[in-house]
Structure 1
Amino acid sequence: MQHFIDLMKDCLGEIKEIFPWDLEEWFEEGKELMILDVREPYEFDAMHIPNSINVPRGILESACDYDYEETIPELVQAREREIVIVCRSGYRSILAASSMQRLGYEHVYSLKTGVRGWMEYEQPLVDTDEKPVDEDAADEYFSVRLRPEQMSSHYKK
């Protein structure tokens, strides 16, 4: 049986990852990027990279094509654009980049370390009203809160 981490490792060989400092450099160079945040709307509303768009991972594939309720025309038309995919820590974005490549997107990158790494690299985050997010609030938000039953020691083989 494969686990989530195994699935991600399988996808790593086929996708490109960048670090927060690479993304910062691209912004400074004025590259025309689409920043695609694949977290859930409540995560995006709490904090996100400025000027990013939110398409939750669960509807990504249908959002990338016409004739679906989830279709996002800007995303459908971006097959040849450079797209940086972000999530909380860089895991869901790996799976999203893999899917998008299979759908014909030519220049997709997963942000290694995700929004958490972007915050730790001291880059700006904004809330749903596009107001800057306080660094202490971001630290608190990204604190791991696993319940005991979510930990691997409870996994029965």
Structure 2
Amino acid sequence: MSRPPPGARTIDQILADRRRSLHRLPPAEAYDRWRAGSLIVDIRPAAQRAREGEVPGALIVERNVLEWRFDPAGEARLPEATGYDVEVIVLCSEGYTSSLAAASLHELGLTRATDVVGGFRAWREAGLPATGGGAEPAS
């Protein structure tokens, strides 16, 4: 392994830094906020959702287009991206990618964006609403 260039950081350092700006939610609190009107946004790819299951009624926005769909000033925004005060609760498989995604939404001005501690796996383990799962990965 070569020496890292000046200023390089590990993904663990970047993740810890990004999480400092978030008030991350345990699954039960995320569920309560969703029922009160917050958006649950599942950013997992289709194959992962097929394998693990889904939250019924969650908004599906894959990670590669998230910022474009939630930028209140952007032309590609979703109807749900009604402004900067929308509470977006991002969900991934285990709660790592979702932290980076929620922090990215903060940079767009959506400062109420957050994610679920433990991701979908923790959501399902908590007995919260979930459907499907068990599909074999495509070869």
TM-score class, shorter = 0.7 to 0.9
When you count helix as a share of all residues, which structure comes out higher? 1
Runs of 4+ aligned residues of structure 1 deviating over 4 Å after TM superposition are none
Deviation of the 1:102 alpha carbon: 0.8
Decide whether aligned partners of structure 1 residues 78 and 116 sit closer, same or farther in structure 2, where only a CA change above 3 A counts.
farther
1:1-150 matches, within 5 Å, as 1-27=8-34, 30-46=35-51, 47-65=53-71, 66-67=74-75, 71-127=76-132, 137=134
Count of residues in Structure 1 that have an aligned counterpart in Structure 2: 127
Structure 1: 5+ residue stretches without partners: 128-132, 142-157
Q: Distance in 2 between matches of 1:96 and 1:13?
A: 13
Residues 28 and 128 in structure 2, CA contact (< 8 A), matched pair in contact too: no
Q: Distance in 1 between matches of 2:38 and 2:115?
A: 13
When you count strand as a share of all residues, which structure comes out higher? 1
Structure 2: 5+ residue stretches without partners: 1-7
Secondary structure at the residue paired with 2:100?
helix
Deviation of the 1:119 alpha carbon: 1.0
Q: Give identity over the alignment, percent.
A: 23
Q: Distance in 1 between matches of 2:58 and 2:83?
A: 14
Normalising by structure 2, what TM-score?
A: 0.78
Q: Distance in 1 between matches of 2:78 and 2:37?
A: 17
Residues 84 and 109 in structure 1, CA contact (< 8 A), matched pair in contact too: yes
Structure 2 letter corresponding to 1:60: L
